Structure 1
Amino acid sequence: MKRIKLFYCQIFGILCFSLVFPCQSLQAKILEIPLAKIMTRPEAIQLHGVEDFYELSLPVSARHRIDKSRLVLDFRHSNVLVPSRSQLRVRVNGITIGQFVLNPKSPRQLETMEFPPELLTPGYNRIEFSVAQHYTDQQCEAPDSPELWSEIDSLRSKFILEASPKMLKPTLAQLEDLFDEHLLEFPLQILMPKITTQSLQWGALATQGIALRLNYRTPKLYFSPPPLRPASESGPAGLDFASLSHDAILIGTKNELQLWLPENVHGAIQGPYLHIMAQPGQSERLLLVISGNNDQEVTQAAQAFALLNYPFPDTQSTVIHSLDLPSMARANPPLVKTDATYSFAQLGLPTTSFNASMQPKPAEMVVKLPPDFYASEHASATFSLHLAYSGGMRRDSVLEVRINDVLQDTIQLNEESGAHYRDYQIVLPMRNFSPGPNRITFRPILAPLITGECTYINLDNLNVTLFDDSTLTLPDADHYTALPNLALFSRTGFPYTQPADGSDMAVQLLDDKPSTAIAAWLVMGKLAQINQVPLWNTAFVTTPAAEDRHRLIFGQSNEIPNDLLKKAPIGKTPQGTRWPYALWKGYEPPKQSWWRRFLSPESTPKPKVTPYAAQMTHTGDSGQYGLVTAFQSPDHPKRLITAFLAKTSENLAKSAYRLTQPEMWGQLKGDLAVWIPKAPKLAWQESGKAFYVGKISPTRAMGYHFNRHPWQWLLAMVGILLLFAWLTHRLLARFKHRRHPDANEIAP
């Protein structure tokens, strides 16, 4: 009896303790992930032929524990399939989680399948949908018959995951997992006591560090002063963690953060300082402290955070005693140089074998050209391929070469006994390449030699190998291009990412509102993702920049100075806003003289392109639209200004968040674009005047000049010939005087 009483007393004691010190409960979240959200393009998944498959990647964060997982699949298929031989199979990381008979009596099916959550691992999980489709029970059928099809609705089909956040015990070595690109959304609070030009730079560096770790995703930023918990009997004043809703970064000098930091953390700030910890009471969230004794040390700490890309140090805090930054060259490291030869191994493509399939997975490599490269019309790039293919393939087997999904050339694999090529050359004009990243794809299309109905088809001999000692040779080129060009800006960040440390750009804010700062930080984060390194030397200003730099401007549309818009496609007048409405582009045929045709008989000059637009001045404002426009600086003719504007600073932040998402950012073109934060597309036009930046080599500059001014070339040639004749006369006279001083005339 005493034991029973003792047992109940212990239970009662545990209950009382739990009431006084409640345990942390990390509430599970239900994540609904439509297939369209994790696809490159949100479209229906089409599966054709006797067999076909489609792969996509499902991101799972290391900060989540998946408790339950299921897939809801909405699909349709042909109504002439034979159900006994037709099925759809779903696999997760190579493990089959479901298979469904394709019944022609039910051409639309809605299926739900639960699968073990252990199949999902942190990172990208391979999801495969494959079909076997037949219209007859017989062995003889056309494998590509048009009635063999299935279609998966990527909007209605979705993964439903029950995910519990993990308790964090963070260190600086875990930054890649903590700021995790596999999170579908990443909300982040940036806390700073005040807004100054210095703190704007700190916030930009912190955002760039986050953006680089998120790869291509956009963080959702919130900016405010740090909330203060007043002193009480339970403890001294400090940061009010209960007021925080997300992960947070606290930035400021040691003196500025004194009220918010615990004594042990505050006392550890003995230089540029980084500290990471779980938020007390909310251990699934983190707090990162970036601080130092003065402004310069905080800047160094923020730069260090943006640059930490290796799991070291494995501690919660560190003091940076020195930070030696490299002097950046003109091009950032991923760029290839012109007038050079690169092996495929150097370009990131290892030796690749395409095996046992009529359409195996293509091989790809990315060649990142300088954003402002300028080559002559006759310049070409040369591929020297080392490849081999097996015998027993039909003569129409080919290996396609594509650049940015555009077919450039094909290699016929037409030797029945196979072949081995050591130096198979493909010469392509440089104009087929784009500035910035170019995706080069090698896509084999292979056919077996022996086919036919009721015939065994051997696929095992369909083999092609492309070796990594194949090379790409690029011609010499200059750095010269036309601006403004928002498409070039979205692809490469040019001209703001040249040099790669941002030392040739300035960021100007038209006000000191937090939402305006958020918009600037989001765009800087996107530029860092494009640049692949943080732009740590960018200057932040709140007044018109006097420095000779390219400039990014953020603010409300009614606050931008009218003098700044002298060369912009839009403007402000006392009557209202001047706005262009594009009509058409005029293509004027070039005037080519006979001298120019003689100098360059094979050249075909490009027609002059002139955009025509109606200029309209009217009342009204941008409303809920965001706006970006690029134009020549009125103060520095070789500098570009790109202005991000909206009616209010709050709408500017929302617009910047929408624009910096991948599907919107890639739509930028021309020199003027507008969009609604919730819309899937933006509207753009090209209506301003272009100007040119960069330098051309003296040889190309002379050729360009004399092609445009042939009479000057003619006069120069006449002058050179006269000079040559005079020198020849003088040399002959001197020769005669030395060797034949007595010869005054030629003897008869």
Structure 2
Amino acid sequence: MKKISLSALCAASLISIPATAQIAPEASTSAPFADVYARYEAPAQIQTEKLADGRYKVRAPLSLLRSAQGSIHLSGANARETLYVNIAPQARIDDARLLLRHASSSAMDGMSPHLRVSINQQFIAQVKASTSQTSVLDEIVLDKQALSSGFNAIELNAIQRHTIECQDPTSPELWTDIDTLRSTIEFTYTRRPFAGTLADLDAAISPGLAGIEKISIVTAENINKSHLKWGALISQAIANRLDYKIPDISHSTATRIESETAIGPAPYLSTNTQDSDLILVGTFEEIGQYLSIDPASVSQEEGYLAIGPSPADPSRFVIIASGHNAKSVGLAIDALGLSSFPFADTNEARILEEDAVSNVNFAASAPLQSGKSYTFKDLGLNTTSITGSQYAQAALNFEMPANYFATEQDIVELELDYAYGAAQDPDSVLNIFVNDVFRKAITLSNPDGEATAGYKILLPSRVLQPGPNKVSFKAELNKSQIGKCAPRNLRNLAFILEGSSLIRLPDAQTYVELPNLGLMKNTGYPYSGVETEKFSILAADATSPNLAAVWTLTAKLGQIHKAWFSNVDMDFGLVPPANNTLLVGAKSTLDPILKSPFILTPSNNGRHKSLYELANLGRNGAVISGENPSANETLLTVVMGQNASTLENAVKNLVEPSHWSQLDGGAAVWREKPSTFATQSAQDTYFVGNLEAAERIAFHNAKTPLKWLLIMGGLLFGVASILAFVARYMRKRNQP
């Protein structure tokens, strides 16, 4: 990742981009200006195209169907890999095909190597391996009956041979590579008419292909801070169900239509949003005119929640969250946010206060706690067992708190329950890696095999890092094969790692240096909803693009831990409160506060300095983070675009994995393509936490040893000078 001066990049933008590039897209009639800073193409994306006959076509690169990066490398006589394609229930598949670009070792030429393809354990096709100098592209027509809603398993099985006599099944000549960027699964589908109920919410809001892509949150014309918070919580309710996707979130204003044919709970609703699922939110006084329900049938204390076909498109849904007052609307939204809420199989529900949890932040997946013990099963790693293979791997994934601080004395303890089979070579081992760095090895050398419970491994706590961590267990099992044509029997090779194994964490302290956008990227800190520190979210104004930007960012931050910001203060304004604050707005709106002495003038202690050397952002989005001028040791993070339109587009780009993964330092700018992303280190930082004084001094001395040596040298020089002065004084005094 390149790190350059933020002001330099903005200045370069002003020089390189003509004036027409600053015009809003809808106002410009010229062709888009080439982005000279975007030297690389954007990563592959899932593409959805609406056809002339009303159907849709989806193209999904195989690279997006697996967590590993790069091509699929199938090595060995019988190698396989399974990909999972999630198809949303809204789609009725009309036709599908799999395009595979692959190449195989030329050593297998003439030995009939081939690829076997199956879907959901049903054989689909087999294609000849390409042993020529270049890869080939094969098209496989898929039986649409083999695909179903939910996850579909596509298994690629390489049957490979390079000799008839004495073949080693692990020979390096046995390989096939599949290009996952240029291999795709494509299908054409028709959207089913929506017929779900509230009990089907989790299925209707699906991350699968052909599922939720656009969400429009619809309100009445007048907006206040309640609507801001309702939209943020609704966005989190959607994003948390989508797991890893952030939909295109927008805001629109409701208008009334007279219709005798429209159906559903909002038959008189019209918006300017196309191809979107709708969520209509507001009190009955604000939105009652669009609904089919009589508000008098709902009590003052109840929240009202309903779902049905959208009046704009019967294949999409509209969700209604309403009530007689702000509190009752909040009850309906709280019920929507709980994925485990026991909705009945009906299209509407009335929510009482005792039914929904309000005014509390919660997260479905929080970081581990210091000083606690966890079984591997608790952390998602169940018992892992292999037989007949020379290699086994299991990984323990977990998250440490963002402000986690390990001292030299802290120890992480692993207690492993494992076993291995007999008649293995004594050089068989279990290697242990922490965050992909080798840390420990266990020999598996007993010729009779062994079952071990509670095998202790001590690791320095500093090998763990704030945020995501991975502990990998890689077993290398060997067996002697004697003679040129010895049978390659590996069935006695066996290894098992029990889910009852433990990881015991030390009672660590907390200490963190801020600002740190890299920490926000990995953990959301301090805006993730799992911290004890209070934080606020401010929107600079109530325009639709600003609302959409705030809701999109809130969805992204909440999705990190599947959090729910019910107890977070959200409001409109420019002056941050005296706590950690996220401020979102167009630079044209933020100019008064950015130019005011409130931010640009240093405080009495000289700690508060300018967050940003102001420049015209052009097409750039920007995020700047620094110490909050309203309160020491709290954070202010400002996200902005030059105007409302560029702000909304910039935030939509920012939450994409290709951009979000590059966040670092104290400031960043970007445009649509990921290669335009640039970061700048924070100039002024501060520390928060409960680290003891002695550890704090040692930590800072280790960070800046030269400064420490200069300080100590100065102290010693000062002491020596004082002693010399005292000695001269005493000599003069004692002279006769």
| Same fold, judged at TM 0.5 (above) | yes
TM-score by length of 2: 0.80
Q: 1:416 to 1:510 in 2, by over 3 A?
A: same
- 1:91 aligned onto 2:126: no
- State, as a whole percentage, how many aligned pairs show the same letter: 27
SS at match of 1:455: coil
TM-superposed CA distance for 1:342, in Å, is 2.1
Superposition pairs for residues 160-179 of structure 1, below 5 Å?
160-179=186-205
Q: Is the Cα–Cα contact under 8 Å of residues 517 and 665 in structure 2 kept in the other structure?
A: yes
Q: Is the Cα–Cα contact under 8 Å of residues 331 and 352 in structure 2 kept in the other structure?
A: no
* Cα distance in 2 for residues equivalent to 1:141 and 1:531: 46
Q: 1:243 to 1:354 in 2, by over 3 A?
A: closer
Find the counterpart in structure 2 of residue 395 from structure 1: 426
Select 1:435's aligned residue among 466, 471, 482. Answer: 466
Select 1:646's aligned residue among 619, 641, 645. Answer: 641
Q: Is the Cα–Cα contact under 8 Å of residues 392 and 449 in structure 1 kept in the other structure?
A: no
- 1:354 aligned onto 2:386: yes
Q: 1:57 to 1:499 in 2, by over 3 A?
A: closer
Amino acid at match of 2:89: A
SS at match of 1:181: coil
* Cα distance in 1 for residues equivalent to 2:362 and 2:635: 18
Find the counterpart in structure 2 of residue 32 from structure 1: 59
The one-character-per-residue Cα deviations of 1:452-484 (angstroms, maximum 9, x if unpaired) are: 541112221111111222211111111221111
* Cα distance in 2 for residues equivalent to 1:282 and 1:503: 43
Find the counterpart in structure 2 of residue 291 from structure 1: 322
Amino acid at match of 1:284: S
Gaps of at least 5 residues in structure 2 are: 1-51, 602-607, 703-707, 714-736
Gaps of at least 5 residues in structure 1 are: 1-24, 578-619, 712-748
* Cα distance in 2 for residues equivalent to 1:279 and 1:703: 62
The one-character-per-residue Cα deviations of 1:45-83 (angstroms, maximum 9, x if unpaired) are: 233344433332211112212232211112222333233
Find the counterpart in structure 1 of residue 368 from structure 2: 336
Amino acid at match of 1:339: G
Find the counterpart in structure 1 of residue 567 from structure 2: 537
TM-superposed CA distance for 1:368, in Å, is 2.2
Amino acid at match of 1:624: R
Find the counterpart in structure 2 of residue 260 from structure 1: 290
Select 1:413's aligned residue among 441, 444, 448. Answer: 444
Q: Is the Cα–Cα contact under 8 Å of residues 248 and 288 in structure 1 kept in the other structure?
A: yes
* Cα distance in 1 for residues equivalent to 2:512 and 2:312: 55
Q: Is the Cα–Cα contact under 8 Å of residues 503 and 539 in structure 1 kept in the other structure?
A: no
TM-superposed CA distance for 1:244, in Å, is 4.8
TM-superposed CA distance for 1:445, in Å, is 2.2
Q: 1:451 to 1:219 in 2, by over 3 A?
A: farther
Find the counterpart in structure 2 of residue 222 from structure 1: 250
Superposition pairs for residues 190-589 of structure 1, below 5 Å?
190-193=217-220, 194-230=222-258, 238-240=268-270, 244-264=274-294, 267-268=297-298, 270=300, 271-280=302-311, 282-310=313-341, 312-323=343-354, 325=357, 334-360=366-392, 362-450=393-481, 453-497=484-528, 499=530, 504-545=534-575, 547-560=577-590, 561-562=593-594, 563-564=598-599, 567=608, 570-572=611-613, 577=614
TM-superposed CA distance for 1:541, in Å, is 2.1
TM-superposed CA distance for 1:177, in Å, is 0.8
The one-character-per-residue Cα deviations of 1:62-105 (angstroms, maximum 9, x if unpaired) are: 22122322111122223332333411222222333221222535
TM-superposed CA distance for 1:160, in Å, is 1.6
Amino acid at match of 2:203: D
Q: 1:678 to 1:384 in 2, by over 3 A?
A: same
Find the counterpart in structure 1 of residue 734 from structure 2: none
Amino acid at match of 1:344: F
Which protein, 1 or 2, shows the higher relative CO under an 8 Å CA cutoff with sep ≥ 6?
2
Q: Is the Cα–Cα contact under 8 Å of residues 362 and 565 in structure 2 kept in the other structure?
A: no
Amino acid at match of 2:371: D
Q: Out of 538-547 and 134-143, give the one that drifted further.
A: 134-143
* Cα distance in 1 for residues equivalent to 2:280 and 2:351: 17
* Cα distance in 1 for residues equivalent to 2:115 and 2:197: 45
TM-superposed CA distance for 1:137, in Å, is 3.0
Find the structure with the greater CA-based Rg. Answer: 1
Amino acid at match of 2:318: L
Q: Is the Cα–Cα contact under 8 Å of residues 626 and 677 in structure 1 kept in the other structure?
A: no
TM-superposed CA distance for 1:644, in Å, is 0.8
Find the counterpart in structure 2 of residue 658 from structure 1: 653
* Cα distance in 1 for residues equivalent to 2:483 and 2:541: 73
* Cα distance in 2 for residues equivalent to 1:210 and 1:628: 25
Find the counterpart in structure 1 of residue 604 from structure 2: none
Q: Is the Cα–Cα contact under 8 Å of residues 576 and 628 in structure 2 kept in the other structure?
A: no
* Cα distance in 1 for residues equivalent to 2:298 and 2:438: 60
SS at match of 2:139: strand
SS at match of 1:489: helix
Q: Is the Cα–Cα contact under 8 Å of residues 360 and 565 in structure 2 kept in the other structure?
A: no
Find the counterpart in structure 2 of residue 612 from structure 1: none
Superposition pairs for residues 89-168 of structure 1, below 5 Å?
89-105=116-132, 107-140=134-167, 143-145=170-172, 147-168=173-194
TM-superposed CA distance for 1:525, in Å, is 0.6
TM-superposed CA distance for 1:195, in Å, is 2.2
Select 1:626's aligned residue among 621, 627, 634. Answer: 621
Find the counterpart in structure 1 of residue 100 from structure 2: 73
Select 2:88's aligned residue among 55, 61, 66. Answer: 61
Q: 1:364 to 1:121 in 2, by over 3 A?
A: farther
Amino acid at match of 2:388: A
Q: Is the Cα–Cα contact under 8 Å of residues 81 and 103 in structure 1 kept in the other structure?
A: no
Q: 1:628 to 1:88 in 2, by over 3 A?
A: same
SS at match of 2:106: coil
Q: Out of 43-52 and 341-350, give the one that drifted further.
A: 43-52
TM-superposed CA distance for 1:710, in Å, is 9.7
The one-character-per-residue Cα deviations of 1:652-688 (angstroms, maximum 9, x if unpaired) are: 1112112212333222111111221233562223132
Amino acid at match of 1:325: V
TM-superposed CA distance for 1:135, in Å, is 2.8
Superposition pairs for residues 184-195 of structure 1, below 5 Å?
186-193=213-220, 194-195=222-223
* Cα distance in 2 for residues equivalent to 1:115 and 1:293: 52
* Cα distance in 2 for residues equivalent to 1:265 and 1:93: 48
TM-superposed CA distance for 1:122, in Å, is 2.0
The one-character-per-residue Cα deviations of 1:606-625 (angstroms, maximum 9, x if unpaired) are: xxxxxxxxxxxxxx522212
* Cα distance in 2 for residues equivalent to 1:331 and 1:224: 29
* Cα distance in 2 for residues equivalent to 1:365 and 1:311: 32
* Cα distance in 2 for residues equivalent to 1:706 and 1:646: 39
* Cα distance in 2 for residues equivalent to 1:652 and 1:319: 37
RMSD, matched Cα: 3.2
SS at match of 2:181: coil
The one-character-per-residue Cα deviations of 1:374-425 (angstroms, maximum 9, x if unpaired) are: 2212211010111110012222322222223333222221222211222222
Amino acid at match of 2:578: D
SS at match of 1:531: coil
- What count of residue pairs does the alignment treat as equivalent? 640
Amino acid at match of 1:476: D
* Cα distance in 2 for residues equivalent to 1:284 and 1:233: 15
* Cα distance in 2 for residues equivalent to 1:537 and 1:565: 31
* Cα distance in 1 for residues equivalent to 2:323 and 2:246: 28
* Cα distance in 1 for residues equivalent to 2:510 and 2:428: 40
Q: Is the Cα–Cα contact under 8 Å of residues 280 and 319 in structure 2 kept in the other structure?
A: yes
* Cα distance in 1 for residues equivalent to 2:516 and 2:626: 9
* Cα distance in 1 for residues equivalent to 2:194 and 2:262: 24
Find the counterpart in structure 1 of residue 671 from structure 2: 676
Q: 1:471 to 1:105 in 2, by over 3 A?
A: closer
* Cα distance in 1 for residues equivalent to 2:533 and 2:169: 62
TM-superposed CA distance for 1:237, in Å, is 8.9
SS at match of 1:84: coil
Amino acid at match of 1:659: L
SS at match of 2:426: coil
Q: Is the Cα–Cα contact under 8 Å of residues 241 and 339 in structure 2 kept in the other structure?
A: no
